[in-house]
Amino acid sequence: MQVRGLHKSFGDNEVLRGIDLEVRSGEVVCVIGPSGSGKSTLLRCVNLLEEPTKGQVFVGGTEVTHPDVDIDAVRRRIGMVFQQFNLFPHLTVTENLTLPQRRVLGRDKEAAAKVAAENLRRVGLSEKADAYPASLSGGQQQRVAIARALAMGPEVMLFDEPTSALDPELVGDVLAVMRMLADEGMTMMVVTHEMTFAREVADRVVFMDAGTVIEDGPPTQVITNPTHERTRHFLSRLLDPAMADVEEETPDQPGAP
């Protein structure tokens, strides 16, 4: 996956300011940075949930941003997991996994159910196949959302703060599933504040601020020994918040991530 010269503005607010980034096949790239830095907007531009103002995105050699691209075909190759789980509350777990397969991929009921069962097994939730989302914990619902994305057979997985809405004790199960996917060689781009995950699982860490990439390198460089003062300042506040000085916050701009 390649991002070239990507810009995105919401009115006068320029959220992305010329992003150049490559995620190689089988690579795990964690994107970190303060709120409003453009991390989530970057993910949403990759699969055109947001239309870039300028620039190009390539997935598997196909230019996603080309005006004649079949975006539905491209999106079938890109799985995305959001902060919120976005499960249909009136459908069982299995039905949540089979519905997109049948509607988008055209699989019959039996084939879709088989794929659903396999991916529920992968995320450790086989026993919840007939449950409804309301009966599941937040961590279980997020694992169902990951299984739903995997059931579509994506080449790339995008994660937008997948643990931010979870109670701390539920975070580990979701990160364990993501670690498993990394071990299996899934290409992943992960927006996260989970520094332990980024340090131990990521091949590269990208630090963004104010719509630009400030630092890009292996975790041992970016997290352990950052070269930029802005990166060091961010990590010091994130890793030891009790020692941070009080700073005046700038209100988020409408439409910013």
The pLDDT, as a whole number, for residue 242 is: 57
Q: For residue 240, is pLDDT > 80?
A: no
Instruction: Confirm whether 111 is domain-assigned.
Output: yes
Confidence class for position 254, pLDDT limits 50, 70, 90 = very low
Instruction: Confirm whether 96 is domain-assigned.
Output: yes
Q: For residue 166, is pLDDT > 60?
A: yes
Give how many domains the chain has, as a whole number.
1
Instruction: Confirm whether 176 is domain-assigned.
Output: no
Judge whether 144 and 125 are in contact, CB under 8 Å.
Answer: yes
pLDDT digits (tens, 9 = 90+) for 35-86: 999 999 999 999 889 999 999 999 988 899 999 988 888 888 899 999 888 9
Confidence class for position 250, pLDDT limits 50, 70, 90 = very low
Which residue in the block uniquely carries the two structure tokens 């003062």?
Answer: 229
Instruction: Confirm whether 7 is domain-assigned.
Output: no
Instruction: Confirm whether 165 is domain-assigned.
Output: no
* Average pLDDT of the residues in 7-27: 95
Judge whether 79 and 101 are in contact, CB under 8 Å.
Answer: no
Judge whether 157 and 81 are in contact, CB under 8 Å.
Answer: yes
Instruction: Confirm whether 22 is domain-assigned.
Output: no
The pLDDT, as a whole number, for residue 158 is: 97
Q: For residue 184, is pLDDT > 70?
A: yes
Helix (H, G, I), strand (E, B) or coil at 225: coil
* Average pLDDT of the residues in 135-141: 96
Q: For residue 227, is pLDDT > 80?
A: yes
The pLDDT, as a whole number, for residue 16 is: 97
Judge whether 52 and 16 are in contact, CB under 8 Å.
Answer: yes
Residue 149 token pair: 């994305």
The pLDDT, as a whole number, for residue 71 is: 81
Residue 6 token pair: 């990507």
pLDDT digits (tens, 9 = 90+) for 213-224: 999 999 999 999
pLDDT digits (tens, 9 = 90+) for 78-114: 999 998 889 999 999 999 999 999 999 999 999 999 9
Judge whether 80 and 160 are in contact, CB under 8 Å.
Answer: yes
Which residues span the domain enclosing 105?
A: 85-154
Instruction: Confirm whether 46 is domain-assigned.
Output: no
Instruction: Confirm whether 114 is domain-assigned.
Output: yes
